[in-house]
Chain A
């Protein structure tokens, strides 16, 4: 079998520990401000609704019963498909709804509550100005298929953001429609495939380093490519010589994350690009970590052909508990003609145009002097407009000078954490020099039986969201810490105290780590049970 469990990650098996929140049990199960909240399906009712309808009948039609919900029967034109069975959707009144979700919200950790050092995820402050602007009626209340004359401002937002992205990356074009980072990766790889096919060059392999995000190999496979590993050097970077040796006429391209997932800049990026280009391939850069270098170096200057930008990472759009993201892809001159539809473009007269299937050919001929070879369409409509307005607000707030400071402070904060834990936590690549925006540690030196998971759960008790665990896969028991630039020195100092304490407990073999967290809304959850007997929807016990 393949290497069983290379990362060493096993789910925590719940261990009965003493109840550290000592005190008498309560009748409700609540503990003061820590409030238990039942499921909607346990408290709601199908006869309850929190929405009133105005059936006053502004449209007056005989035969429609009012003011009760009019029965479909007499006038229905539903073709005989009227719903006859109940759906099973309980409702709540407005006060109950607000309370239900407010109580749930309090069981979440969030950036607004504290430092959220999740490596590779870039949990930075989400400015509220962005939220305000995204809600302006001219952005929030506009339909994607309105006649273009009624949405010129929206198209200008897209185009203005595109302008910034192109200039910040030193690239030639940008595809704005991808819905998230992984969707952007797919877009970039499809551009590469389309470019190769356009020159009649069928290639089969995409090379991906082992330290890459899982989306990279998944994307390449989804686009029909075989995936092969690129070996790494002992200091955590791409092995240039091994890569060169593997390049050949079957290699369509490489996917390199830079800065990489070990938190290191790929020094040889330009040489890698040159070698790949010489072998007839293309260079995809996973831009998940662009926030570390924005304003400091332009990927276009390093020979990159395509790179997605996670607007929620570098440009502060909210993570929202798991999306929505947005993943525009900047493209080199060689790949730009192959980007997907639709796109926006400003013409000499200053007007921003929306180019879709019908006019792609003619528009390109007229304004770009050649036919487009776009590979198709990745999504309905125009991409994540709600994220574009937020990202643009953030970019305009920072400006060219502020964005450079963003990268510098992000890198400074990460290095401050890295060096402050010298001698406390093992940093596999720490001795070789500074890191970029994230510091990578390992579980080396922990007492037997204690793992990265235990340390992470103990950090929860200290009031922190844990760092990214067990990623990248190339380091056993990996812990990837990314403080981001929006943390103050005081916040970092307190975090370092907490991390130092739990690390020392892990090294000393403090058994109480095994039952952490003790103070969270839940103790360790039984993930094995969840996977062995999946319960993925609520089943009413009385229906069972």
Chain B
């Protein structure tokens, strides 16, 4: 028997049979979220509504929405797939994503909520010269978001081609365009209010779907985790090594170093992701921001714990050949698992597959909406209102700019997503974390906690971290010189690691320090007094 070939065709024909069901569920999700968006659009009257959802969401609602923003297709499909193929190393990956939330909880969420209004740039520029720092903050926000967006858009194309059996170029382009148009509609009409509700719906669906599949997996193994792990190890053909670290990252010294680099980027990146940061403005005060992070830690932690069951369950119940044949990175392991749990030729299997696939689409759609909102907010509020119009734009003009920025960013992402549809962009999410940790986090922490920090320090830190992180990626095996690279046929990779964090994050911190100690201007002590008192007490918070 030639497993890979038979399974490809099998998976494809199964998928096309269930196509109608998948599409129906997906259309239902789109209709429901469009309804929410229109309703939210009617309630969006001023800039605080558009950027911050009127700041009236409860801690639990925002916790759900934060989880929705964070649990991208990369974590749902990617981690389950990585566990299914590499066992323990896939699980290792998810831990960095969770621990990172403590940085947000302890150092960033509350001070940010207390001292900013709408964007990350509000806090960075608080005691600095507004125009250069806001330009820098806007630039890094847009770069991080575009990296992240590209990964999601390309993911949508891959997923759809696999699950619906659409393989033609025109079909993939159409899907990318559809995702782009929907996200433009969500964000430009619904603003933060609409986007937050879409995130909440998506989070509930994703958690619900994951609980269902986890329950079914555990039921098969009588809730005995040890048995589940044992079957996974055996069925994977790798034995005990499947349950130990090393299958994915342990090959040699370089891959091990790469894993450390990735780990640092994950842990320090979350608290610098613009689409996560703006979520803290949607609640009434810092206390609610803290509680929403706690909810998010609980929800996201529970979710990642369940991905253990998903990933090892897929490894135990499906052959490695079938998983790889469906997608070489294992990205379709979770939907395949749903199909197998229900029974490959049964209606129940079809329903489960369709449900999980629709949830995956919903996940992608919601995350791209969050990213688009973050970048268009930063464009309108930081760059248009405060740099171009020097703070003289009216609220109405600013909101109009935000809506146009949404359309612009949407069109750019559609174009890039179309071009990148066949590139391997799986690593882009981890890179977005590295850029966020190198360019954004140092400046956020210095601004909040270091009295002496100056404009020059902020600029050196943002641009230094940004240029080094993106530059190292450009010359890494992610882009060229590797069979799995974006451009496998050329080789200009002289930087050996796939993740730049281990170099670029310390560099970002060092540049912030160096720029500060070398700058000729005196830090503005009065402004720092104001920022510090506001950030710790919430005095005068919007």
Query: Are A and B bound to each other?
Result: no
The interface of chain A, by Cβ under 8 A from chain B, is none
